[in-house]
């Protein structure tokens, strides 16, 4: 009897999808702009046959992971397993991802050089903009064609190639909603996409290979604005709620709803995160999830590890989680082991969090899950005078610096308010670039393509602003305005606008126009900046001889105006280099 039971157990174990000896394969289907509530109401015949879980996008509101509910950040998050505070795609206008956080395409290529990988996207920027480096090694990339043509190529790929990992992206539901909002046209677009999903599933089934183990995942990138459904991008339940569907039952993280520390949006965070898609794909493909990858989501296959990990309260380094795990949890911060705690504690506080970025990784049963906590990120810097400079952060705070001593003045950071910066408070979350034109005026550029003129003598935003950046107000700048990462005043009558794609513009303030021949690559014309061209967060002219460039991951580099090149190594922002700058 014991022998028989043991045999039955082994047979059952072998039947588990992650224990099978068949070759693992993945089809990920992304349908853009699906309102999950409406898709449920329509009872789409193909999608309703798949196990489906409510999920969320847009990060955790009020933390550094918060990001607009738009396509660029959404699809990159799904394909990398990390939020935008790691992969770096914060908007549709962003450039390539941070290479430290590659997509499933590159992770699979690194692990299995012979794998057949295809990315077929009717919305081009996924392949041609955000993941351009990662998909370069793919066997097939299709971009900017119709949904119908994308599906035809995908079916052909599934029928005629070894096809280990295939990503298929369909755009029509999002396009129709932008044009017509909710209604018959949108419903029809969802039905068409559902039929196309059925065709893709049939193509997988028709391979009829017993030596292949196919995992099919279906998801969307964001919901739609309440009411009309025309847009998206905000932080409402309707825009944040998405779904993840699969062709098989998945683990408890997928099918069990857990109470979490943050109960916002009707408990949406108690559901699955968009960041779980990539680790699920990687685990199915037999790739061990590494702690150093800092993946934000638990896998939906096998042991999920610590569940619903997020910051707890307002204290730096305070973490909380949910679930019913047993045993201990190993806690790491920035690659350093800190503690061993019981899963049942559901809470841990770092006794000494470092300034700036803290990447916490909690490992339970060999499954790592991470969360990034950032005190604040530099959004813009303003060269006010020879004695004073200001640095603005993305959390609405600002610091006043004493230039000669390079120290933050006592009592800072403070909140940008109509008392501290008259007329600027309502735009404090949109500050993007700024520089002083002269002793009297400063220009402040906002993330929505508008700008402000600030009177330094009257200490207020001038009436009539913000105004739109166009070829009437800033000749030559209009078509690049959404790409501006930072701006810096140079010597003479020149100012530079550095773009998020690694290029820059030179603006002649006397002639009031972008100089002919621009944009040009930063790597070609800024000595020593080639490896930092896409990592620049902000820049400030400190004095007549020196400019500081603040880089991603809390780093900075000094640039000599006279020598026209970087001087010294890249350094970390800390209490020795910039006292008080990233103070909690």
Q: Name the band, by pLDDT with cuts 50, 70 and 90, for residue 355.
A: low
Question: Does residue 10 sit within a domain?
Answer: no
- State yes or no: pLDDT of 5 exceeds 50: no
pLDDT tier, 313 (very low <50, low <70, confident <90, very high otherwise): low
Q: What's the CATH number where 261 sits?
A: 3.40.720.10
Whether residue 129 is found in the same domain as residue 103 = yes
Q: Comparing C-alpha atoms, which of 413, 489, 492, 386 is closest to residue 444?
A: 489
Work out how many domains the chain is built from and give that number: 3
Of the pLDDT bands very low, low, confident and very high (cuts 50, 70, 90), residue 12 is: very low
Residue 231: inside a domain: yes
Of the listed ranges 84-98, 99-113, 164-178, 485-499, the least confidently predicted one is 84-98
pLDDT winner (highest mean) among 67-71, 310-314, 452-456, 538-542: 452-456
In a domain, 562, yes or no: yes
- Look at residue 359 and tell me whether its pLDDT is greater than 90: yes
Residue 246 lies in a domain: yes
pLDDT of 4: 38
- 155 in the same domain as 261: yes
Residues 204 and 287 in one domain: yes
Burial of 459 per CB tally in 10 Å (0-12, 13-18, 19+): exposed
Alpha helices in 16-146 (DSSP H): 36-42, 71-80, 84-87, 104-111, 125
Residues 560 and 421 in one domain: yes
Q: Do residue 151 and residue 268 come from a single domain?
A: yes
* Residue 460 and residue 509 in one domain: yes
**Residue where one domain finishes, among candidates 325, 354, 375:** 375
Listed in sequence order, the residues at least 6 apart from 160 whose beta carbon sits closer than 8 Å to its beta carbon are none
Report residue 479 as tokens.
Answer: 């078509």
Q: Is there a contact between 378 and 393 (Cβ–Cβ < 8 Å)?
A: yes
4 within a domain of the structure (yes/no): no
Mean of the pLDDT values across residues 466-484? 94
The answer, yes or no, to whether residue 256 has pLDDT greater than 60, is yes
Ordered DSSP codes for 291-332: GGG---S--SSS---SEEEEE-SSSTTEEEEES---SEEEEE
Same domain? For 329 and 264 the reply is: no
**Mean pLDDT, range 393-421, rounded to an integer:** 82
The residue assigned the tokens 């045993």 is 327
Check residue 1 and report its DSSP letter: -
Bridge partners of 244, per DSSP, are 53, 219
| pLDDT at res. 8 | 35
For residue 532, the domain's CATH number is 2.110.10.10
Measured between alpha carbons, how far is 478 from 519 in angstroms, rounded to an integer?
12
Show the domain range for 356.
303-375
Is 2 part of any domain?
Answer: no
Q: Is the pLDDT of residue 128 over 50?
A: yes
Rounded distance between C-alpha atoms, residue 309 and residue 363, angstroms: 11
Please say whether the beta carbons of 401 and 390 come within 8 A: yes
What are the tens digits of pLDDT across the range 200-218?
999 999 998 899 999 999 9
Indicate the pLDDT class of residue 421, thresholds 50, 70 and 90: very high
pLDDT of residue 38: 97
CA 124 to chain centre: 18
DSSP state letters, 200-220: HHHHHHHT--TTEEEEEEEE-
Smallest CA-to-CA distance from 344 within 317, 325, 331, 370 is with 325
401 strand-pairing partners: 389, 408
For residues 95 and 73, which has the higher predicted lDDT (pLDDT)?
Answer: 73
- Per-residue confidence band for 542, with pLDDT thresholds at 50, 70 and 90: confident
Closest CA to 573 of 377, 287, 402: 377
Q: What is the pLDDT of residue 119?
A: 98
Q: Tens of pLDDT along 53-68?
A: 999 999 998 777 888 8
pLDDT at 443 over 70: yes
pLDDT of residue 63: 79
Average pLDDT over residues 139-164: 98
Taking a C-beta distance cutoff of 8 angstroms, is the pair 86, 76 a contact?
A: no
Within-domain flag for 13: no
470: Cα within 13 Å, side-chain hemisphere: 4
- The whole-number pLDDT of residue 284 equals 98
Q: What is the pLDDT of residue 314?
A: 59
Domain match, 283 and 161 both: yes
Predicted local distance difference test score (pLDDT) of residue 356: 65
| Within-domain flag for 543 | yes
Q: What is the mean pLDDT of the chain?
A: 91
Q: Which of 375, 392, 408 is the last residue of a domain?
A: 375
Q: What is the pLDDT of residue 209?
A: 86
Whether residues 473 and 353 share a domain: the answer is: no
Q: Across the strands, what pairs with 538?
A: 550
Choose the final residue of a domain: 257, 291, 325.
291
Pair 383, 370 in one domain: no
Angle at 399 between CA 397 and CA 403, to 5 degrees: 165
CATH of the domain at 330: 2.60.40.10
Q: Do 343 and 396 fall within a single domain?
A: no
Q: Which of these ranges, 239-253, 480-494, 543-557, has the smallest mean pLDDT?
A: 543-557
Let me know whether 285 and 357 are in one domain.
Answer: no
Residue 173 or residue 554, greater confidence = 173
- Please report, for the chain, how many H helices and E strands are present, in that order: 14, 34
Distance CA 318, CA 83 (A): 19
Interval 315-354: pLDDT, tens: 778 999 998 888 999 999 999 999 999 999 999 999 988 7
Q: Does position 18 have pLDDT exceeding 70, yes or no?
A: no
- In the prediction, which pLDDT does 553 show? 74
């Amino acid at each position: 009897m014991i022998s028989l039971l043991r045999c039955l157990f082994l047979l059952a174990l072998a039947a588990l999808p992650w224990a099978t000896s068949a070759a693992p394969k993945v089809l990920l289907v992304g349908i853009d702009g699906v309102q999950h509530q409406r898709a449920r109401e329509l009872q789409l015949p193909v999608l309703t046959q798949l196990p489906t879980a409510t999920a969320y996008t847009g990060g955790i509101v009020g933390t550094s992971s918060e990001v607009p509910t738009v396509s660029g950040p959404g699809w990159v998050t799904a394909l990398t397993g990390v939020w935008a505070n790691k992969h770096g795609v914060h908007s549709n206008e962003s450039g390539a991802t941070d290479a430290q956080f590659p997509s499933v395409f590159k992770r699979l290529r690194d692990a299995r050089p012979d794998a057949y990988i295809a990315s077929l996207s009717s919305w081009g920027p996924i392949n041609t903009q955000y993941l351009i480096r990662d998909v370069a090694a793919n066997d097939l990339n299709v971009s900017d064609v119709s949904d119908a043509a994308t599906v035809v190529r995908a079916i052909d790929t599934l029928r005629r190639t070894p096809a280990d990992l295939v990503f298929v992206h369909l755009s029509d539901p999002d396009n129709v909603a932008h044009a017509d909002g909710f209604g018959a046209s949108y419903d029809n677009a969802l039905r068409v996409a559902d039929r196309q999903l059925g065709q893709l599933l049939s193509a997988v089934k028709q391979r009829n290979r017993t030596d292949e183990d196919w995992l099919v995942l279906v998801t969307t990138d964001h919901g739609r604005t309440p009411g009309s459904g025309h847009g998206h991008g905000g932080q409402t339940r309707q825009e944040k709620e998405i779904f993840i569907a699969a062709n098989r039952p998945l683990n408890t993280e997928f099918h069990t709803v857990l109470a979490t520390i943050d109960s916002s949006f009707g408990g949406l965070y108690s559901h699955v995160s968009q960041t779980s898609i990539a680790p699920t794909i990687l685990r199915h493909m037999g790739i061990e999830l590494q702690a150093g990858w800092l993946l934000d989501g638990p896998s939906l296959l096998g042991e999920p590890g610590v569940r619903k990990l997020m910051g707890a309260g307002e204290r730096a380094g305070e973490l909380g989680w949910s679930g019913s795990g047993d045993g201990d949890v190993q806690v790491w911060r920035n690659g350093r082991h800190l503690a061993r705690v019981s899963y049942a504690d559901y809470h841990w506080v770092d006794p000494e969090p470092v300034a700036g970025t803290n990447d916490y990784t909690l490992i339970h049963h060999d499954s790592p899950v991470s969360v990034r906590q950032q005190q604040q990120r530099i959004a813009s810097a303003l060269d006010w005078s020879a004695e004073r400079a200001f640095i603005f952060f993305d959390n609405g705070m600002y610091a006043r610096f004493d230039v000669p001593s390079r120290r933050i003045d006592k009592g800072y950071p403070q909140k940008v308010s109509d008392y501290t910066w008259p007329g600027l408070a309502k735009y404090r979350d949109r500050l993007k670039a700024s520089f002083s034109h002269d002793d009297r005026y400063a220009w402040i550029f906002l993330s929505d393509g508008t700008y402000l003129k600030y009177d330094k003598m009257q200490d207020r935003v001038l009436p009539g602003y913000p105004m739109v950046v166009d070829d009437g107000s800033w000749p030559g700048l209009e078509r690049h305005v959404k790409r501006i990462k930072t701006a810096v005043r140079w010597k003479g009558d020149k100012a530079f606008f550095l773009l998020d794609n690694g290029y820059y513009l030179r603006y002649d303030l006397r002639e009031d126009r972008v100089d002919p021949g621009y944009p040009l690559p930063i790597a070609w014309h800024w000595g020593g900046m080639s490896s930092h061209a896409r990592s620049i967060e902000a820049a400030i002219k400190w004095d007549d001889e020196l400019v500081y460039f603040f880089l991603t991951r809390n780093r900075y580099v000094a640039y000599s105006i006279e020598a026209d090149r970087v001087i010294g190594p890249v350094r970390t922002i800390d209490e020795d280099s910039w006292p008080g700058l990233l103070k909690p």
